[in-house]
A and B are shown apart, each in its own frame.
Chain A
């Protein structure tokens, strides 16, 4: 029963974290595409506030509960979990980069957002798809 509760909380934390990641990446992609003006300011502030209060705690909870679940089920030696871990580390790194870029933009709006951020939403979607397949199908 405890395992199911932890699993439910883990899934909820993942959904909240990925939602926050998508929001940040789509706004950053829009900033990279369009001419930047001061009207973006309040939106960026709201996203940064939400990130500090909700998205970052959700990421930490995802990690903590995920490791607990893996330890309880003895899955650390499984190859699908190793693959999933690589993708989760990639998503966590992407999250860190996005936080830094949003912070940089809010303190210096004249700084240009790099063009490669346009790939971030697609990269997140592809990673989530791969994680879902790894977790449900459990190949290997």
Chain B
């Protein structure tokens, strides 16, 4: 059963990773190669690296809590490498976050 808190954390980390990837590709890289500001890639690249590590860490925690198929894990991982990929995967994470947990099902039955 997926865990709501861990999936919310994963969703946030995934969005951060996606935004910083877009910043890196569409702001920092043109700033370096078109306008001669190499510092932009160094700064945004480091921030993106940290966000990617946070995303991987959140994915490991969420997957270890169970309730994930291999296809879903692959899709989430692939989405983190592609620009706009995390936004394609956002509805999947939102859906998984809304699945009621065991404890909540128990409360509903009572």
| Interface positions of A (Cβ within 8 A of B) | 63, 67, 89, 92-93, 95-101, 103-104, 107-108, 111
Contacts of A99 in B (CB 8 A): 6, 61, 64-65
> Are B1 and A96 neighbours in the complex by a CB distance under 8 Å?
no
A-facing residues in B17-76 (Cβ within 8 Å): 50, 53, 56-66
> Are A107 and B60 neighbours in the complex by a CB distance under 8 Å?
no
- B58's nearest neighbour on chain A, judged by CB, is A96
Contacts of B65 in A (CB 8 A): 99-101, 103-104, 107
Contacts of B58 in A (CB 8 A): 96
> Are B64 and A100 neighbours in the complex by a CB distance under 8 Å?
yes
> Are B102 and A108 neighbours in the complex by a CB distance under 8 Å?
yes
DSSP class of B's interface residues: helix, strand, loop or mixed? helix
Task: List, sorted by A's number, 15 A–B pairs whose CB atoms are closer than 8 Å.
Answer: A63-B53, A67-B50, A92-B53, A93-B56, A96-B58, A97-B60, A97-B61, A99-B61, A99-B65, A100-B3, A100-B64, A101-B65, A103-B6, A104-B66, A107-B101
- CB contact under 8 A between A93 and B60, given known A99-B6, A103-B3, A107-B102: yes
DSSP class of A's interface residues: helix, strand, loop or mixed? helix
Contacts of B63 in A (CB 8 A): 100
Q: Count how many pairs of residues, one from A and one from B, have CB atoms less than 8 Å apart in the complex.
A: 56
**How many residues on chain B are close to A (CB under 8 Å)?**
20
Excluding A99-B6, A99-B64, 20 further A-B contacts by CB distance (< 8 Å) are A63-B50, A89-B53, A92-B53, A92-B57, A96-B61, A97-B60, A97-B61, A100-B60, A100-B61, A100-B64, A100-B65, A101-B65, A103-B65, A104-B1, A104-B65, A107-B3, A107-B101, A107-B103, A108-B66, A111-B66
Chain B nearest Cβ from A34, distance in angstroms: 20
Roughly how many angstroms separate A97 CA and B101 CA in the complex, as a whole number? Answer: 19
Chain B nearest Cβ from A68, distance in angstroms: 12
Chain B nearest Cβ from A51, distance in angstroms: 10
Roughly how many angstroms separate A37 CA and B57 CA in the complex, as a whole number? Answer: 30
Contacts of B62 in A (CB 8 A): 100
